[in-house]
A and B are shown apart, each in its own frame.
Chain A
């Protein structure tokens, strides 16, 4: 079958019931998208289908058809997406394992709602993080959406662009 990932067409010979996650990771070889639960609970496997965030662990690859898949690797060519920039500036990730999914979910939220409220963030960000980076994820979305200045958020933690090095 054919599948389009990050604007590249791949001809893959796989079982139709193979979840999209595993086709992406093990057949196409893009490992940024992570396995966390396999039952659409944690969101570590979040990718876009025609621009909409989905949990790729629970979608059979045969259901993708002509829809275009975007993975974390193609969110930006060089970490320049506002979410990525905010994530780096605030060191949102701790271990980083769930962050591909968090970044994809946050970027999808900002596309849908450019200036999300805290309630919007609560509703959209249901991905699990076991390090507990949620407070910084919220800060990061506020900064990425331009609703808070980076310096103001840093100041909340007694830091500044200078002291962050």
Chain B
């Protein structure tokens, strides 16, 4: 049996028997209901427009006789701009005319049918570009070589005598010219080059990539014609509203269907699983209205006795325990601190956060006896595909998954595919009928996988000159992996909760040399599910480390920048962004009267970030006067889009740092909507200045790395202004609010 593996919602590997797919190239093809996905923007297609019989140059590139260049894009687009960025990389190596580029997105079913020729589809962890850039660029370069070889064959000249510019192939000796569109069909028959033999362009010579080109998918976002998952309208479609037990883990005792089944439009009340009820109706509003009227008796379970004050206390108490494991034990940190002439200690607290994606969780599913189809805004096309197959009880070759661009992802639509499972369970009870399941904002906010609450006890010993001789970092809190990938965890050793404090380079290395270092993690799980939230564990770990470093600098009587620089000499890339941000922010010059600066640096997702904030504090109101970033992501595929990711990270971070927190009351989430969990609005957002300092020797992420430095830079500036440490988040606990 030939097999391949795809991610199944992170739980386990889903083994696909590809041998049964032999000759299955037709699988799923031509079955995309285009009407439902009709777009008025001609430059991109959310799914596939190809037919199985269409010639293609290769998996990544097809060129039509009219010179249209179709680039295949299989990651998810949720606003981060990866569709445009990957298309730029392909166009760069292809040497085509950027103005002729459109994209299409093969489905997971189409990919599996071709033995996953397009590779993984997961779009999380800031990896959309950095994980695929190499094979995508090689695919494009191979296509260019095949197109040129086809022209060389036609003219019977050596390919080395040909040149290409914007899709026009020229033979200088004979003066002959042809175009990609004219040789595309012949190129499809050329033997592809060995991808490993291809020399890719030096990024410093890029002409299309590396430029701040406009997105290729903006125009239908400004006139209401872009189709999101919630906008699907399929023939005969019904709509479902869902209610899970308000207390996580609670179960249904009973519900009284008779009270709602005769309401207008209601088609049925569905028990989804032990803890979830749905109402299905002709419109979603009618389904939701009936669901609100449905009397449900819950067995709330033991979680009902738990509130935030219990959870907070448990976490703080756990800081007195020894860690489940030491991530790093270098020298004798505890002994050094104990014997140090000067000791520092601080306890920090950061709360749960909700994703609150702008578009609530949704999925549309249609199931017949031998076929399951789903339309899903997802960050993992293959994860959703596997969740559909498993829940529908149908093998992958009888399933298809149509990805839709998501109304933000923020990590919610990735590892946990609960929304696909729920929608599939509902649709199973309406065979043949497409059922669009959407969660209300309240359901979405109260049944999230929350950014984990975390606490830390930071301890340092300093010598007579104020230099740190020993550092002890003890972090405690719930583990994301324990919630989402319990089988992957051994002995509570969840190193991921220490993200950003690693010794190893590459992903999230701590950028300081401490002569003696101990980092520990105490895992304390609750009944509240936790998950990946933009920046994930770099968010709190950057606050713990970078705010504490500032407290130490102050105790040492040293400038926070110089204090850091002295400890960062072995980490030139960390130091590079720190210095770049300081320079742009004029750190060496005095601040305006009443204004105070703070600085922070951190590494995450393979990239290096630093931030300088300039604030003034009037009463309890914080004004952010200036916010400067430096980012080294190795390469920059589209600087405009990279800067937009930094600007977006600032908004999400400041909202979480100042206002937002998820609290638990009697087992359930207290915040239910944007009134009680209020994201930042325009009036509060400072202008962001970004400096991109790529070093061209690695590929780092972009979507998440900068979010974690916002908080510590701003808070360090506030601490400077107030002359006191700030350790409790969100900052309303410190009687502070953002202007």
**Partner-binding segment picked from B209-217, B302-310, B494-502:** B209-217
A112 at the interface (CB under 8 A from B): no
Determine if B674 and A128 form an interchain contact, defined as CB atoms under 8 angstroms apart: yes
**A95-B78, A129-B651 as given contacts; A121 in contact with B223, CB under 8 Å:** no
A113 at the interface (CB under 8 A from B): no
A125 at the interface (CB under 8 A from B): yes
A75 to B223, CA, bound (A): 7
Majority SS at the chain B contact face: loop
**A73-B224, A134-B651 as given contacts; A163 in contact with B212, CB under 8 Å:** yes
| Chain A interface residue count, Cβ-Cβ cutoff 8 angstroms | 66
The smallest C-beta distance from B4 to any residue of chain A, in angstroms, reads 31
Determine if A157 and B407 form an interchain contact, defined as CB atoms under 8 angstroms apart: no
B682 at the interface (CB under 8 A from A): yes
Determine if B225 and A73 form an interchain contact, defined as CB atoms under 8 angstroms apart: yes
Q: Which residues of A contact B640 (CB under 8 A)?
A: 91, 157, 159, 164
Determine if A31 and B233 form an interchain contact, defined as CB atoms under 8 angstroms apart: yes
Q: Which residues of A contact B647 (CB under 8 A)?
A: 132-136
Q: Which residues of A contact B643 (CB under 8 A)?
A: 157
A121 to B639, CA, bound (A): 27
B358 at the interface (CB under 8 A from A): yes
Q: Which one of B224, B285, B407 lies within 8 Å of A95 (CB-CB)?
A: B407
Q: Which residues of A contact B98 (CB under 8 A)?
A: 165
B408 at the interface (CB under 8 A from A): yes
Q: Which residues of A contact B685 (CB under 8 A)?
A: 132, 134-135
CB-contacts of A117-144 with B (<8 A)? 121-123, 125-138
The closest CB in chain B to the CB of A128 belongs to B679
B334 at the interface (CB under 8 A from A): no
The closest CB in chain A to the CB of B678 belongs to A41
Determine if B283 and A136 form an interchain contact, defined as CB atoms under 8 angstroms apart: no
**A44-B358, A132-B648 as given contacts; A121 in contact with B682, CB under 8 Å:** yes
The closest CB in chain A to the CB of B649 belongs to A132
B interface, size bucket: 35 or more
Q: Which residues of B contact A157 (CB under 8 A)?
A: 212, 639-640, 643
The closest CB in chain A to the CB of B690 belongs to A157
The smallest C-beta distance from A124 to any residue of chain B, in angstroms, reads 9
A67 at the interface (CB under 8 A from B): no
Q: Mark B198-221, 1 if CB is under 8 A from A, else 0.
A: 000000000000011111001111
Q: Which one of A15, A76, A165 lies within 8 Å of B211 (CB-CB)?
A: A165
Q: Which residues of B contact A44 (CB under 8 A)?
A: 358
CB-contacts of B672-692 with A (<8 A)? 673-675, 678-683, 685, 687-688
CB-contacts of B209-243 with A (<8 A)? 211-215, 218-228, 230-231, 233, 239
A56 to B722, CA, bound (A): 44
CB-contacts of A54-101 with B (<8 A)? 71-73, 75-76, 79, 83-84, 87-89, 91-100
The closest CB in chain B to the CB of A15 belongs to B264
Q: Mark B392-433, 1 if CB is under 8 A from A, else 0.
A: 000000000000011110100000000000000000000000
Q: Which residues of A contact B226 (CB under 8 A)?
A: 96
B441 at the interface (CB under 8 A from A): yes
**A19-B285, A22-B285, A31-B233 as given contacts; A96 in contact with B407, CB under 8 Å:** yes
Q: Which residues of A contact B682 (CB under 8 A)?
A: 121-122, 125-127, 134, 137-138
Determine if A95 and B408 form an interchain contact, defined as CB atoms under 8 angstroms apart: yes
A95 to B649, CA, bound (A): 14
The smallest C-beta distance from B426 to any residue of chain A, in angstroms, reads 18
Name the residue among A72, A122, A129 with the largest chain B CB count within 10 angstroms: A129
Q: Which one of A96, A97, A99, A122 lies within 8 Å of B683 (CB-CB)?
A: A122
A114 to B405, CA, bound (A): 34
23 A-B residue pairs with Cβ-Cβ distance under 8 Å, sorted by A, are A22-B283, A26-B239, A26-B284, A31-B233, A39-B673, A39-B675, A44-B358, A71-B224, A72-B223, A79-B222, A83-B222, A87-B218, A96-B79, A96-B222, A97-B358, A98-B407, A129-B679, A131-B648, A132-B651, A136-B644, A157-B212, A159-B212, A164-B214
Partner-B contacts on A (CB < 8 A): 15, 18-19, 22, 25-27, 29-39, 41-42, 44, 71-73, 75-76, 79, 83-84, 87-89, 91-100, 103, 121-123, 125-138, 157-159, 163-165
Q: List 4 other contacts, CB 8 Å, given A87-B221, A128-B674.
A: A76-B223, A94-B644, A135-B688, A164-B212
Sorted from nearest, which 8 A-B pairs have the closest CB atoms? A32-B224, A132-B651, A97-B407, A95-B79, A96-B221, A94-B79, A132-B648, A122-B683
